[in-house]
Structure 1
Amino acid sequence: MARLTVDTTNSGASSKSLVFCVYVSGHGWGHATRANQLIFDILKLPAQHKVYVISNASDFIFQGVIQVGAIYRQADIDAGVVQPLAYTVDRDQTITNLKLFLERRPETLRSEVEWLEQIGADCVVCDAPFLPCAAAAQAGIPAAIASNFTFDEVYNGLCEGDELDQEIRQMVETTIEDYRHADLLIRLPGAIRIPSFDDTENLVPVTPITGTFPPEKKKKGVVNGKMNLPCTSQSNVRSSHNNNKKRFERRIIDVPLVFRKYHTEREEVLQGLGIPKDVYDTHKILLLSFGGQALGKGGWVDPLPNGWICIVCCAPDGVTLPRNFYRASRDAYVPDLTNAADVVLGKLGYGTCSECIGHGTPFVYVPRPQFIEEYGLLKLMHDQGSAVELTRQDFEDGYWGEAIEKASQLSGRCDEPERLVAHNGGQIAAQTLEKFVIEWNQSNRSSLDQVTEEAAASIPVEAS
């Protein structure tokens, strides 16, 4: 059985240009921001691969990768989660949308298979829609998941002990079955359980970020119980397309942090926002970042501590901001703002968490109790960065000061060098995907040759 190996020197790089199809959920901006970084790193590989990005999110957020060669395609490939506010989930509408999506599944699946075959795709990468994994299997190409969670676990988290639970669980089985067509999981830091690859009982699995492994656990990357990234382990869940002739071993590869880094220095960023130098030199800066979604009730008189100003991401044009608040442009590059800020206030999403950790910026978060991804991300923030909770009620009422001041006293970084996670996850993930396609094709070609040989051997030899 073929086993994927990770070569961080990329000495086994492909000399052939491959076609990668990266399917990105339209739910929130965190999927798109980290997918953008992964796409950038794939496009930078020497083989000059072609990358399609497929999403039901607007092409607006993919403009950076489109400008360097990625090809955008809008498609309804994802049911997502309905969030009226950045920190609330509309359970009923989310379930309804998933049900409607699954009713259209046969037609959508057929359309995606035809398109993959038409463009000559070599690999599907999902962050983190489930249907494209099944489409890849039908098209005869490998599929990988690159994420810290999959939606099956999120939908499971919507079970509340009522009559809808049975319907939710039935739909979840379909999503898991689709995800199980993938043969590689590139697991990002801050992960929760991903049932199609790891059916552990723990919602937050033991990974290089969340704990150490005992010496008897034989995993590539484990040294005396301590783990270095990337780290490879074997999936304990069988593939949906597994059979006796399947020779590729499903793998989980934990990679370092994948996030976008800042491009522009702090002073230039603040001047570009129209903040006078005598203001940003004498005030601390809060970045209010909720992924482009509508905020709460608002109408605050002055929620900031004395000596603070606030930059707001994606504030609606019709909203008048309070005193000492500055509006960032719709196309502002958020990592520049994160790097310029003293504290970030937002929700626990992967994009915000990873960029706060990557830039050493403390984080004040408003909890999202209905969104189960939070458990892994909060563990990540406590291990690798700095996080302070602000209740939803205090946020909406404008009582921010205490949490902001508390966060500003924290470092924003992991204080133990031996636990510090590297920040080159995009590069490692890109190299891993390239090698995955090569080894998957070699494995399946060997299996096909074996099937052909066995079939030929089973044919009786006719006497002449």
Structure 2
Amino acid sequence: MKNIAYYITTHGLGHATRSIAIIRELLKDPKLQIYICSKLPKNYLNGCFHSNSIKFHESDTLFGVRYKELLQVDIEKSIDIFRDGIKKQEKYIEKELEFCKKNNIDLIICDICPFPFDVADKLKIPSIAISNFDWYTIFKHIINQKKSHDLYENLEILRESYEKADLLLRLPFSIDMKFFKKKLNVSLVVRELTRDKTEIRSVFNLEEDVLLIFYGLTDYTFTTDELIKKFDILNTKHKELKIFFSKFLKKYIPKREYFRFILEEDQESQDYVAASDLVIGKVGYGTVSECVAYKKPLIYTTRKDFLEDIGLAKGIEMFGKGKYYTPKALLNGEFENLVNLTYELSKKSISNEIAINGALEVFQIIKKFI
């Protein structure tokens, strides 16, 4: 039996969804014991796996950013998170060293906190990074906006930690992560569908001719009254319209006959994306990868000062069916008739194809390390 510690950041669900896809491949090998190291909710993870080969270990994410109005990165609060993460480095490494020794960890996989690579280095065990971005590059840009030159020395701590990784498996639509000593590009990592379009629609008693729109933003602070009003106006003209929302928004959004929510016990949101005719959201890895994989039109916006979005926006334009709106326009529903737009984007041809078997590729690479 080989033991893997798989570290997953809680900054955005895209890290979780792609890690779930990879872990599901790993579980096909009965000789692997996987410890998921994260602060992701256990009920969420338990709903994704039904295996005795999975155990959970609570581990801090440490790094992330905060947002203010219109999906702008809050520079001041994000720098506070950076400072706090640096202060916790020593205790974090000490705690994770103890955990890895106690559980005889043979391999560390990380998406994408830097300090687990310090742990692997001290234990003399291999480590693999999996991501489309890194926190060194993200915070370098943020610190440059603030011109906080006193933070550059601390910034190098992140780079030095990442340099200790034995391999970076670089996902499609990535930013440049040149300081990793060894890199390997992999195909798109995306969760496979567990149900088809007909099954999802039947759960909600929806006919085949119903037009389904999936609203992908999960933070209630970005769901404005103006947006709901625009949906109401659209629904008066198009009674065939239904809109899916995340279950996390259920208690914040007013009730409407044409609103639907992902079921509380259902963790397979990719099935809802694939069952929809149009997706609305920001360009996170999970949203973009699933829209590209399942060829769904995406009305999207980007986050100011968050560099990850540059690669993701290029990805949806090159390999998907995307249409960009400013954060203000998208969050306030200032777009054209969504019904017409859905049909327009659906007809858009995709000039570039991309392989979506990245989870299997990653599994095959990981096996070589253990």
What is the TM-score normalised by the length of structure 1? 0.73
Native 8 Å contact 1:298 1:398 kept in 2: no
Q: 1:176 aligns with which of 154, 159, 165?
A: 159
Query: In structure 1, what residue type is equivalent to 2:192?
Result: K
Partner of 1:285: 212
Larger Rg: 1
Give, in whole Å, the separation in 2 of the partners of 1:368 and 1:276.
34
Are 2:65 and 1:81 equivalent residues in the alignment?
yes
Q: 2:134 aligns with which of 138, 143, 150?
A: 150
Native 8 Å contact 2:213 2:277 kept in 1: yes
Q: Deviations over 1:285-333 (max 9, x none)?
A: 1100114554232353233474332111131414314452222223432
Q: 1:26 to 1:340 in 2, by over 3 A?
A: same
Q: SS of the counterpart of 1:409? A: helix
Partner of 2:269: 334
Give, in whole Å, the separation in 2 of the partners of 1:66 and 1:268.
21
Partner of 2:355: 422
Q: Deviations over 1:220-262 (max 9, x none)?
A: xxxxxxxxxxxxxxx4xxxxxxxxxxxxxxx311111100122
Query: In structure 2, what residue type is equivalent to 1:287?
Result: F
Partner of 1:394: 329
Partner of 1:366: 301
Give, in whole Å, the separation in 2 of the partners of 1:260 and 1:414.
24
Q: SS of the counterpart of 1:100? A: helix
Q: SS of the counterpart of 2:22? A: helix
Partner of 1:432: 365
Are 2:143 and 1:159 equivalent residues in the alignment?
yes
Q: 1:265 to 1:193 in 2, by over 3 A?
A: same
Are 2:260 and 1:320 equivalent residues in the alignment?
no
Native 8 Å contact 1:153 1:195 kept in 2: no
- 386-395 or 185-194: bigger deviation: 386-395
- 1:413 shift after superposition: 8.4
- 1:59 shift after superposition: 2.0
Give, in whole Å, the separation in 2 of the partners of 1:36 and 1:414.
30
Are 2:24 and 1:37 equivalent residues in the alignment?
no
Q: SS of the counterpart of 2:273? A: helix
Are 2:105 and 1:121 equivalent residues in the alignment?
yes
Are 2:130 and 1:130 equivalent residues in the alignment?
no
Give, in whole Å, the separation in 2 of the partners of 1:178 and 1:27.
19
Deviation beyond 4 Å, 4+ runs, structure 1: 411-414
Give, in whole Å, the separation in 1 of the partners of 2:152 and 2:145.
12
Give, in whole Å, the separation in 1 of the partners of 2:344 and 2:307.
28
How does 1:11-410 map onto structure 2 within 5 Å? 17-45=1-29, 48-68=31-51, 69-83=53-67, 87-164=71-148, 166-197=149-180, 235=181, 251-273=182-204, 275-277=205-207, 281-291=208-218, 294-299=221-226, 300-303=228-231, 304=234, 306-307=237-238, 308-313=241-246, 314-322=248-256, 324-332=258-266, 333-402=268-337, 405-410=340-345
Give, in whole Å, the separation in 2 of the partners of 1:405 and 1:159.
42
Q: SS of the counterpart of 1:379? A: helix
Native 8 Å contact 2:3 2:105 kept in 1: yes
Query: In structure 1, what residue type is equivalent to 2:175?
Result: I
Native 8 Å contact 2:82 2:139 kept in 1: no
Partner of 1:204: none
Give, in whole Å, the separation in 1 of the partners of 2:348 and 2:26.
28
Q: Deviations over 1:344-381 (max 9, x none)?
A: 00110001111111111111112212211011111111
Give, in whole Å, the separation in 1 of the partners of 2:135 and 2:348.
29
- 1:115 shift after superposition: 1.1
Give, in whole Å, the separation in 2 of the partners of 1:430 and 1:65.
18
Q: Give the share of equivalent positions with the same residue, in percent.
A: 23
Native 8 Å contact 1:128 1:146 kept in 2: yes
Native 8 Å contact 1:384 1:414 kept in 2: no
Partner of 1:453: none
Unaligned runs of 5+ in 1: 1-16, 198-234, 236-250, 439-464
- 1:272 shift after superposition: 1.8
Q: 1:424 to 1:162 in 2, by over 3 A?
A: closer
Aligned residues: 361
Query: In structure 2, what residue type is equivalent to 1:357?
Result: V
- 1:62 shift after superposition: 1.8
Native 8 Å contact 2:75 2:146 kept in 1: no
What is the TM-score normalised by the length of structure 2? 0.90
- 187-196 or 404-413: bigger deviation: 404-413
Q: Deviations over 1:42-76 (max 9, x none)?
A: 1113x521111111222233224442232111111
Q: SS of the counterpart of 1:259? A: coil
Native 8 Å contact 2:218 2:249 kept in 1: no
Q: Deviations over 1:118-169 (max 9, x none)?
A: 11101111111111011111111111101111111111221354443x1443
- 1:398 shift after superposition: 2.3
Q: 1:407 to 1:168 in 2, by over 3 A?
A: farther
Give, in whole Å, the separation in 2 of the partners of 1:309 and 1:293.
19
Native 8 Å contact 1:363 1:412 kept in 2: no
Give, in whole Å, the separation in 2 of the partners of 1:60 and 1:36.
14
Give, in whole Å, the separation in 1 of the partners of 2:339 and 2:136.
34
Native 8 Å contact 1:27 1:80 kept in 2: yes
Q: Which has the higher helix share?
A: 2
